[in-house]
Structure formats: C-alpha cells, structure tokens
Structure 1
C-alpha cells in the first residue's frame, strides 16, 4: 500500500480551454470599454464650467428649463411650427431635397392619377407632408441610426403613403394642371374657435 494520498483524476472537457479563452477575451474587451467610458467621463468633468454642478447629471440648472433653445438641439422641429427666418431656412433646405432627390428620382410625368405641382411650396399641406417625409429620410438613410433596412422602411412607411396622399385626385394638387397652378381654397376663412376667440 502506497503512502501517497489519493489524487482525484479529473478529465478536462475538450472545449473547456476554448471557453476559458473566450471568457478571457470578453473580460479584456469589457475592461477596455470601461476604461474608455471612464476617460470620457473625466474629459466631460474637466470641460464642465466652474459652478455648473448639474452637467452630466441630466438635471437642468436653476433658472433654465428644457424648453429653452440651446446648441444641443440636433433635429429640426416640424416645419409648420417654425417662424421666419427659421421657416425660410428649413423650407430652403427642404426645397433642395425635393428638387434634387425626390423629383428626379421618384416622380414620373404628372397625370390625372398622379398629380404634381411645380409650386408645391405654396401648398401648406404639401410642405408639411414633404417635410415629414424628408425628416424620416434623413434618419432612415443613415446606417448609424437605422442599420441597413432603413431605406426599405422609409419607402414603405413614409415615401409611398406620402406620395399617395399628395398625388391622389383629392390631394392638395387636385386643382393644378401642367399649365396652371391653383392653391386649394377649401380651408375655412376663420380658424376654429378653439384657436381664436372673438369678443362677445
């Protein structure tokens, strides 16, 4: 009988070493991400002006509300909510997209079933719909924000319904022909009473 203690024999599964290496790689990757995030937080803290303790906390400083305009606003608001000169600037940018991308790429020859008005910018409904379609196009053609399916989603959910509404026989261009432009005058002369009050 041997004096050596019995040492249990373990059989190591073949894939265990590979699993350990995978875990080690995950730890290295996560450690790098944590380091990057910590450096970014330190950089933000260094860039915070003295006395601005609310930076990076998501809280608004006293005396300032989230409604105030600031330089961090990234996306333009809906065009019909803008006043000049912001409205004019947004309409100018929209016109470049409509005339440079939409018209040459998507609009066939106008017909009774598919109308179009070369003075579309005089039709508020058309401006509103085209602007909404353009905002969606900006988001859904950028792979960084939507992946590779964004353009398909834009066509299905935004462009096609927009064109059906604009170019249909009862759309805003119903009174326009190739040789004549006519703004639809069916809108009421007075805004509904919920929006404006007249003296009794």
Structure 2
C-alpha cells in the first residue's frame, strides 16, 4: 500500500499518559455539557454560538456596563440631600443606637464624652457613617474573610470613637454651660447586636 508510511516512528510514551488523556477528554466533555446547560445551547457544537445569542450577549454586556457605570459606592452622607439624607440618617441611627452604643460605649464621662443628640453634630454623623459603611463591608465573611471584624475594630471603630470622645471632639460643648444636654445611653433597640429567639 502506497498510502501507508514505510516505517512507523517509535514513540516513547509513558504508560499513564493515555489514561491522563482519557481523563482530560472526560473533563472536557463534562465542562462542555455544563456550558450547554448554563447557556441553554443544547444544539450547538462547542465553540459555536448562534447569531441571536451572540447579539443577546452583546446587548447584555452593554447593559451590564451601563449598570456598572450607573451604580456607585455609597455616597458621603453629608453630600446627600433630603430625602436620601433622611433615609440614610435613619438607618445610621438604628445602627449606632442598636449596635454601637450598647456594645461599645460605656457611660459617658468628662474623659469620654458622648451626646445622645449625636445626630445633630455633622462631624459625628460623618465619622459614624464612615464607620458604619466599613462595618457593613468588614463583618461579611463573603467579602472580607475572617479577619474583617478585627480590621474594622483596629482601623475604623477605635479611631472613630477616640476622635468623637476626645476632650476636643465634637461633643466638647455638650458638657459646658448652656450647651449642656442630658447625657444618657439610649434604651435597647432590637438589632443585629442582640439575637432574639423566635
């Protein structure tokens, strides 16, 4: 036969290589089936896509890019206008009085001031809002792993509380003369701090 080569080349192939190739073929077939299931492409060959799906994917990609451009990180609370400011402040008050005050702030003193009308101090609102945003991110194991809470305490809570309660902090005037207001710890507010059994 003229079509067959005269000599078969001798290949030194390791014995386990054929098993590896078969394993790879099985994995590729499995992944191909999974991709078809996920994309709904039952009839297409691997690597092929219908024009409709390609157009839809292009449209979805453009839509996704537009969504990403529209979506923004939470804004600085002092830059918000009503009603967004009011909504954000209400949520912040719930967190501060439900989690921060009962969990972290001891009874106020001359060396550790606190104003129960803290939300009337723009500096306190700004600092506590930043601390709260960090808390939301750093207490979720899906976004921060297991070291997030420690990072939140060290990098966010401790500096925030230190600045707010400092002798020259935003609550300084709350303990002097006519600016004095009654300092108190707010009552317990149902929150993430206390888990009530149902």
TM tier relative to shorter chain: 0.5 to 0.7
- 1:12 equivalenced with 2:15 (yes/no): yes
- 1:180 equivalenced with 2:180 (yes/no): yes
Corresponding position of 2:115: 117
Greater per-residue helix proportion: 2
3-state SS in 2 of match to 1:56: helix
Corresponding position of 1:132: 130
Deviation string 1:75-122 (CA, Å, 9 cap, x unpaired) is 531110111111111111100000000001111111222211111011
**Which blocks of at least 5 consecutive residues in structure 1 are unaligned?**
47-52, 61-65, 67-71, 183-200
Corresponding position of 1:56: 61
Corresponding position of 1:45: 56
> What's the offset of the Cα at 1:6?
11
CA contact (8 A) 1:140 1:150 kept: yes
How well do the aligned residues superpose, as a CA RMSD in angstroms? 3.9
Corresponding position of 1:82: 80
**Which blocks of at least 5 consecutive residues in structure 2 are unaligned?**
1-7, 41-52, 183-198
Structure 1 length normalisation: TM-score? 0.61
> What's the offset of the Cα at 1:177?
3.1
The 2-side partners of 1:120 and 1:16 are apart by 72
3-state SS in 1 of match to 2:91: helix
The 2-side partners of 1:12 and 1:24 are apart by 17
The 2-side partners of 1:10 and 1:171 are apart by 76
> What's the offset of the Cα at 1:154?
1.1
Deviation string 1:140-178 (CA, Å, 9 cap, x unpaired) is 112222222211111111111111111111111112239
Deviates more, 1:153-162 or 1:118-127: 153-162
**Larger relative CO (CA 8 A, sep 6+): 1 or 2?**
2
3-state SS in 1 of match to 2:172: coil
CA contact (8 A) 1:175 1:181 kept: no
Structure 2 length normalisation: TM-score? 0.62
The 2-side partners of 1:36 and 1:164 are apart by 55
> What's the offset of the Cα at 1:180?
2.3
The 1-side partners of 2:9 and 2:33 are apart by 44
